């Protein structure tokens, strides 16, 4: 079983599927913003940055799928970015919870990207916050976008951590053995 998972992680088609799903989630976020006019808060754009970092690491994994050390580093990169995105989504969920309980909570209005990576200047239509946190005007099954983003990121983390752990398993090339 672990050998099969490891061999799956060395297939470009699996990495391509990861790239497609991450791209689809980023495209969905842009659809919500530019078509449905649901403006992003700072946590939302940080989550977008996390998905973009996941996409970058997945592209590296796609290119280097056959090289174990580079594939492992790509998996670590995707997982690390997903954990960052999950932290942002969970903070946003907490803000929504406080507001729903009748309290007051908000977040910063200006993004604080590293000086060497000014995403809000390079792609303001994607990475510049234009709303305050806590607006949950969209829901699916009575759950907010932050909730579903958390579920998606938890799923990525669980599956990709399993893939990463399987990188230490030796793949048996003997078709007659286990």
Is position 133 annotated as part of the catalytic site? yes
Closest by alpha carbon to 137, among 23, 42, 40, 24?
Answer: 40
For residues 55-76, give the mean pLDDT.
92
177 in any annotated domain: no
Q: Is 107 one of the catalytic residues?
A: yes
Domain range enclosing 16: 2-168
Residue 176, in any domain of the structure: no
* CATH number of residue 127's parent domain: 1.20.1550.10
- The confidence score (pLDDT) of residue 24 equals 95
Whether the per-residue pLDDT at 178 is higher than 60: the answer is: no
Q: Which of 12, 71, 107, 143 is catalytic?
A: 107
- For residue range 108-151, list pLDDT tens digits in order: 677 777 778 777 778 677 777 776 766 667 666 777 778 889 99
How confident is the model at residue 174, as a pLDDT? 59
Q: Distance between CA atoms of 79 and 68, rounded to whole angstroms?
A: 16
What is the model's pTM?
0.82
Active site includes 166?
no
Number of structural domains found in the chain:
1
From the list 12, 48, 97, 166, the catalytic residue is 48
173 within domain boundaries = no
The arithmetic mean of pLDDT across residues 73-99, rounded, is: 90
């Amino acid at each position: 079983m672990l050998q099969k998972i490891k061999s799956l992680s060395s297939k470009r088609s699996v990495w391509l599927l990861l790239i497609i799903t991450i791209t689809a989630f980023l495209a969905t976020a842009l659809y919500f913003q530019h078509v449905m006019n649901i403006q992003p808060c700072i946590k939302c754009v940080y989550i977008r940055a996390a998905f973009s970092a996941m996409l970058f690491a997945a592209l590296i994994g796609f290119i280097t799928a056959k090289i174990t050390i580079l594939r492992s580093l790509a998996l670590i990169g995707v997982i690390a970015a997903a954990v960052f995105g999950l932290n942002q989504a969970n903070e946003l969920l907490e803000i929504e919870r406080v507001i729903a309980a009748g309290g007051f909570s908000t977040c910063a209005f200006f993004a604080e990207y590293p000086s060497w990576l000014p995403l809000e200047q390079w792609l303001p239509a994607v990475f510049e916050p234009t709303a305050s946190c806590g607006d949950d005007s969209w829901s699916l099954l009575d759950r907010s976008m932050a909730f579903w983003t958390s579920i998606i990121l938890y799923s990525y983390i669980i599956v990709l951590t399993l893939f990463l752990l399987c990188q230490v398993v030796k793949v048996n090339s003997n078709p007659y053995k286990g």
